Amino acid sequence: MKKLVTKEDSCTACGTCELVCSKTYFKEENREKACIRIETANGKSKITTCTQCGECIDLCPAEAIYRDKNGVVRIKKNLCAGCFACVGFCPEAAMFHHSDYIEPYKCIACGLCAKECPSGAISIEE
Amino acid sequence: MNVEKIKAAHKLLAEFKYTPGKLDKGYANKSLYINVSENKIEAKPVTEMMKEKFTGGRGFGLWYLWNAVTPETKWNDPENEIIISPGPVGGITQYPGAGKSLVVSLSPLTGSVMDSNVGGHFGPLLKFSGWDALELQGKAEKDVVIFIDGNAGIIRIEEAPEEALDSHLLVEQLYEIYADTPEDKRNISVVSTGAAAEHILYGMLNFSLYDTRRKAVRLKQAGRGGIGTVLRDKKVKAIVVKFKGVKGNLNNPADFAALAKTGIKMHKEIHAGDDKQCQMRVRGTTYLVKIMNDYDLLPVCNFKYGSHPDGNKIAAPKWIENFNIGKADGCWYGCTLSCSKVICDYELKTGPYKGQKVVTDAPEYETIAGVGSNCGIFDPQFIIEANFYCDTYGVDTISFGTTTAFLMECYENGIINRQITGGLDLRFGNQDAAMELLHQMARGEGFGRIAGLGVRKCKELFVREYGAGAAFLNDIGMEVKGLEYAEYVSKESLVQQGGFGMANKGPQHDEAWLIFMDMVNNQLPTFENKAEALHYFPMFRTWLGLVGLCKLPWNDIVPENNAQTDEPAKIPEHVQNYVDIFNAVTGKNIDKKEMILQSERVYNFQKVFNIKMGFGTREHDKIPYRSVGPVTVEEYESRQDRYDSQLKELLGMETEGKSTEEKLKALREYREAQYEKLVDAVYERRGWTPNGIPKLETLQKLGIDLPEVVEVVQKSL
Amino acid sequence: MIKVNGRNFEWEKNLTVTKLLQKKNYTFPSIVVQINGKFIPQAQYETALINDGDDVKVIHLTSGG
């Protein structure tokens, strides 16, 4: 199963991953539109992104969420009814939404952010 | 099933083409009028006045029906209409419980105006097809199906002689006929009834959705008041809507961000709280059975008692064993409360479909209590079977349960006997007899036809034909206005007696369920408190039906801090959510006060509508004594300590040495007087005369003083 | 004698909230308990003692059905 794995101890919270992600996904550098979120508290980083657990698959009333052949959980936008149940029920709070869009979005383990991460805090695991 | 043959038998009677348009802030601004006598289809404008005064949903239904009928119109006249309307918020996908339709018609049971609330996909798909309401009038010569293609902009009336009548078959056939591919089935919803609706007065409507995971049609019911009977009387087999492309913004809301934010907040609340609270996602409404049994509120043997040692046999754990629990069992997109449970591979044991395996909707609380405990039956398998057949035959499970329970009590009291029932041994607990009664309704045979008249007409018949005593029958016949009671024992809650008795359409709990606030919590000690509760809650709950929302996400889940709010019973945060989503969709700026005002307009209009039809005055709010207190010695003695201590405390009566009859009489006089005092207080709070007529100043203050409304009121003041 | 929701109820020695709920058969999951106006968290139901003469509120939080 392909997924993005995180090492929070190594994260410097530089935010590069967020910008790479939103640029890739939405052609815009805007951390509010990233599929990965970095927060810091008491000098520690917290990285929120999809673990590909698949909880959202059975939850989706439109059967718009599925696991692809690489084990990555993906959204079929054309079927999505935009209810955001998956956003509210994600155990990792890693299903995101932005009011510019009527469908949610999530990490698909493309790995572009990991390539750019200067501290090795994120990487793709096959 | 030979779909090709069925389809080939269709004959086009009328076709109407229109340009599908975008919705504007929750409204299509037009409604669809179909007359099956004249094969006429036309578009009507939805006016600003309608939106201002009636909001939508039930409000629109009442307004159209008001204009369609006269005081002389009967339910089976062609002038009677069935109006289906989802309301301006209906169809949003972000907030749980937003796929509701309200159905309005003149009722075969009450003769007056009826409203019934239903889930399923029809209402939202109708609206996305460009229509705020569907107004169906007339009577077809031969059976027809109405088809609405919301993408192509085509509406057809088609003669449809070959389809089955029973919903589980009919609806599947229609999905086969109108879906272009198997994947297209999710875009279809059907309104239908069943074979029994031709023979009984409490026929109901099924609203379908397609369950993509179980590859099966699911049915939700507009159960109350016999609107399925009206549909069959119009010779309409079904209304089919097809709309492809449901998205989260089709209402074209004024503020999508606010809608998304409020919806997600609610999903998170359910995610965090449902497991600890009602467990609706796993158990649906079946969780209520144990609670009602524990608090002496579960109707047993025609509402004689409120609990039974066998109550646990039909409680939630027994249902979970039978359920095929999914994580997305909502009846519209985004309903994460997900109460609409399913039973798969159920093998039918009786009737015309015996031996077949079906995917069937699971019984809800009302059905379990109605066809189960209230009839003295505590067998889940029977309840599943009865629920399936009620659904497919088009029978309201509440009216069926309450009527059957009444007949069983009549039978045990010798008012009716085997000769009259055609051999049915209608004792409490005889599930074979109850099932046979149901099958007879579908076949239009035997005592099933009598039972299908409902409690009020059965009472009249038994007095007229069999010399039964009217007083006893009126005491035990659980109906008001001709509608059968919903399944809660109200004996120990005066406020709930009023909630049932003064409900506009008849004794359904969708106006008010105040038993805990009143009976258990003792939070409504004065008549003023009681009247205030019987003003606020019915108005609040009416509002849900104006805009297209379900009641359950209001209070079957509550925010974690709800107990610390100033009025926990109202769930203040959820009421604010509703204000927020209404404003987010419509772009209006209502607050909690204006929300109640919107309801008061429609509620008072419905009250005046009842008066227009010759009902609606105080005498029509009279309730059977079985809903107030113990009718019989056995009932009294079963809870003797409770009643004795009340006589001592409330009346200072020395109960020692008194016969049960004497005590019954004293308790009855007291309780009946209390009810009258309650009615006085509620009428005053609602701005009505002591005879239950809205005062002119009330109508003026609410802005619902339309000339035709004022005219009706002036005549009766 | 104690008051439960404003109505008299027989008191007994060592009456805890849990015991009272059992005696009243109050099984509804969503309730708030107060003793003489003081909120009792659910974790203390087993241990919180009710004294003779106390005014107990067991508020059931629903107007549903």
Query: In a structure prediction context, what are the per-residue pLDDT tens digits for chain A, which is 126 residues long?
Result: 899 999 999 999 999 999 999 999 999 999 999 999 999 999 899 999 999 999 999 999 999 999 999 999 999 999 999 999 999 999 999 999 999 999 999 999 999 999 999 999 999 998
Shortest distance between the Cα of C24 and any Cα of chain B, in A, equals 9
Identify whether the C-beta of residue B142 lies closer than 8 Å to the C-beta of residue B229: no
Question: What end-to-end distance do the CA atoms of chain C give, in Å?
Answer: 33
Q: What is the rounded CA–CA span in Å between residue B299 and residue B307?
A: 7
CB atoms within 10 A of CB B479: 26
Average pLDDT, stretch C10-29?
95
CB contact under 8 A, C65 and B522: no
B577-594: average pLDDT: 98
B84: β partners: B103, B134
For residue B291, give both structure tokens.
Answer: 């609670």
| Residue A95 to residue A88: CA distance in whole angstroms | 8
Please tell me whether residues B660 and B699 are part of one structural domain: yes
Contact present, B441 and B199 (Cβ < 8 Å): yes
Q: Of B566, B568, B605, B573, whose CA–CA distance to B592 is shortest?
A: B573
- Mean pLDDT within B247-270: 98
Asked if B521 contacts C59 with a C-beta cutoff of 8 angstroms, the reply is: yes
> Which pLDDT tens digit goes with each residue over C41-60?
999 999 999 999 999 999 99
Residue B603, domain CATH: 1.10.599.10
Interface of B with C (CB under 8 A): 276-278, 288, 290-291, 294-295, 488, 509, 512-517, 520-523, 525, 533, 537, 551, 554-556, 558, 562-563, 568-570
Q: What is the pLDDT of residue B564?
A: 85
Write down the pLDDT at residue C61: 82
Domain total of chain A: 1
Chains C and A share 3 or more Cβ pairs within 8 Å: no
- pLDDT, tens only, B434-491: 999 999 999 999 999 999 999 999 999 999 999 999 999 999 999 999 999 999 999 9
Q: Which residues pair with B27 in a beta bridge?
A: B24
C22: contact with B, CB 8 A cutoff: no
Amino acid B19: pLDDT: 97
B136 and B59 co-located in one domain: yes
Backbone angles phi, psi at B101, to 5 degrees: -115, 150
Cβ contact (<8 Å) for C5 and B522? yes
Q: Given this model, what pLDDT does residue B355 score?
A: 98
Which residue from C27, C57, C62 is facing B555, i.e. has the nearest CB?
Answer: C62
Q: B367 to each of B168, B386, B619, how far by Cα in Å?
A: 18, 9, 29
DSSP type of residue B688:
B
Residue B561's Cβ-count burial label (10 Å; 0-12, 13-18, 19+) is exposed
Going by their DSSP bridges, the two strands B144-149 and B236-242 should be labelled as parallel
Radius of gyration over alpha carbons of chain B, in Å? 24
Which H helix or E strand runs over B112?
none
Nearest residue on chain B to A62, alpha-carbon basis: B333
pTM reported for the whole predicted model: 0.97
Same domain, B474 and B501: no
Structural domain containing residue A93: 3-120
According to DSSP, the residues that pair with C56 across neighbouring strands are C4, C35
- Residue C65 pLDDT level (bands cut at 50, 70, 90): low
Same domain, B455 and B515: no
Q: Is residue B266 part of a domain?
A: no
CATH number, position B330? 1.10.569.10
**Strand, helix or coil at B345?**
strand
Helices B527-547, B592-612: inter-axial angle, 10-degree rounding: 90
For residues B554-573, average pLDDT: 91
What is the distance between the alpha carbons of residues A3 and A50, in angstroms, rounded to a whole number? 8
Give A63's contacts in chain B (Cβ within 8 Å): 212-213
List pLDDT tens digits, range B347-357: 999 999 999 99
Closest residue of B to A95, CA-based?
Answer: B264
Distance CA B512, CA B538 (A): 5
User: Of the residues B441, B456, B484, which one is the last residue of a structural domain?
Assistant: B484
Q: Is the dihedral of CA B488, B493, B497, B503 positive or negative?
A: negative
Residue of B186, B246, B267 with shortest CB distance to A85: B267
Q: Is the pLDDT of residue B72 over 70?
A: yes
Q: Which tokens go with B513?
A: 């369920």
CA distance, residue C15 to nearest chain B CA (Å): 20
- The closest CB to that of A83, out of B212, B268, B334, belongs to B334
Q: H/E element holding B209?
A: strand B205-211
pLDDT tops 90 at residue B608: yes
In angstroms, the separation between the Cα of residue C7 and the nearest Cα of chain B is 8
Within 10 angstroms of residue B382's Cβ, the number of other Cβ atoms is 20
Quote the pLDDT of residue C64.
Answer: 65
The 3-state DSSP class for residue B624 equals coil
Q: What is the pLDDT of residue C30?
A: 83
C41 touches chain B (CB under 8 A): no
> Measured in whole angstroms, how far is the alpha carbon of residue B33 from the centre of its chain?
24
State the burial class of residue A85 (Cβ atoms within 10 Å of its Cβ: 0-12, 13-18, 19+). buried
Do residues B445 and B376 share a domain? yes
In the three-class reduction of DSSP (H, G, I as helix; E, B as strand; rest coil), residue B105 is classed as strand
Which residue range is the domain that position B301 belongs to? 274-484
> What is the model's pLDDT at position C29?
83
- Whether residue B139 sits in one domain with residue B81: yes
Q: Quick check: is A62 in a domain?
A: yes
Q: Stretch C27-36: mean pLDDT, rounded?
A: 90
Angstrom distance (rounded) from CA B266 to CA C32: 22
B1: pLDDT strictly greater than 70: no
Helix (H) / strand (E) containing B113: strand B113-118
Structure-derived torsion over alpha carbons of residues A60, A61, A62, A63, reported in degrees to the nearest 10: 50
Which of B449, B484, B519 is where one domain is finished?
Answer: B484
Q: What percent of chain B has pLDDT over 70?
A: 100
Q: Which of B93, B95, B585 to mutate to test the interface with A (most CBs of A within 10 A)?
A: B93
Quote the tokens at residue C6: 């404003």
Residue C21, burial from CB neighbour count under 10 angstroms (0-12, 13-18, 19+): middle
Task: Please tell me whether residues B334 and B379 are part of one structural domain.
Answer: yes
B191 within 8 A of B207, measured Cβ to Cβ: yes
Question: Looking at chain B, which subunits does it touch, using at least 3 CB pairs closer than 8 Å as the criterion?
Answer: A, C
CA distance B681 to chain C (A): 20
Structural contact between residues B245 and B22, judged by C-beta atoms closer than 8 angstroms: no
Please tell me the distance from the alpha carbon of residue A124 to that of residue A111, in angstroms, as a whole number: 6
B470 sits in which H/E element:
helix B470-476
Determine the distance in angstroms separating the CA of B518 from the nearest CA of chain C, rounded to an integer. 10
Contacts of A97 in chain B (CB under 8 A): 260, 264
Q: In the predicted model, what is the mean pLDDT of chain B?
A: 97
| C-alpha radius of gyration, chain A, whole number | 14
Q: What is the CATH number of the domain that holds A111?
A: 3.30.70.20
Whether the CB-CB separation of B285 and A122 falls below 8 Å is answered with no
Q: Are residues B537 and B632 in the same domain?
A: yes
Residue of C nearest to B495 (CA): C63
CA B208 – CA B187 distance, rounded (Å): 11
Asked if pLDDT for residue C62 goes beyond 80, the answer is no
For residue A125, being part of any structural domain is answered with no
Same domain, yes or no: B500 and B597: yes
Mutation target to probe the B interface, by most B beta carbons within 10 A, among A58, A79, A84 is: A84
Q: Which of C7, C29, C60 shows the shortest C-beta gap to B516?
A: C60
Question: Does B520 sit within 8 Å of C62, measured CB to CB?
Answer: no
Residue B578's SS3 state is helix
Sign for the pseudo-dihedral over CA of B151, B157, B159, B164: positive
- Exposed (0-12), middle (13-18) or buried (19+): which is B350, by Cβ within 10 Å? middle
Which of B76, B57, B67, B79 lies closest to B137, judged by CA? B79
**Phi, then psi, of B631 in degrees rounded to 5:** -85, -40
Say if residue C63's pLDDT is above 70.
no
User: Is there a domain that residue A25 lies in?
Assistant: yes
Question: What gap in Å lies between CA B115 and CA B57, rounded to an integer?
Answer: 10
- Which stretch of DSSP H or E encloses residue B250? none
Q: Identify the pLDDT of residue B717.
A: 84
Q: How many domains does chain B have?
A: 3
Tell the burial category of A51 from Cβ atoms under 10 Å away from its Cβ (0-12, 13-18, 19+): middle
* Torsion angles phi and psi, residue B547, rounded to 5: -105, -15
The encoded tokens of residue B293 equal 């049994």
Instruction: Give how far Cα A83 sits from Cα of A101, B80, B95, Å.
Output: 12, 37, 7
From CA B689, how far away is CA B523, in angstroms rounded?
Answer: 27
Asked if residue A92 is part of any domain, the answer here is yes
Are B488 and C65 a contacting pair at CB < 8 A? yes
Contacts with B358 (C-beta within 8 Å, 6 or more apart), sequence order: B168, B345, B346, B348, B388
C2-60 CATH: 3.10.20.30
In this structure, what token pair is assigned to residue B480? 């008001």
- Residue C40 near residue C48, CB atoms below 8 Å: yes
| Average pLDDT over every residue of B666-673 | 98
- Among A126, A113, A91, A118, smallest CA distance to A25 is for A113
Report the relative pairing of strands C2-4 and C7-9 from DSSP bridges: antiparallel
Q: Nearest Cβ partner of C63 from B290, B488, B513?
A: B513
Backbone angles phi, psi at B13, to 5 degrees: -105, -35
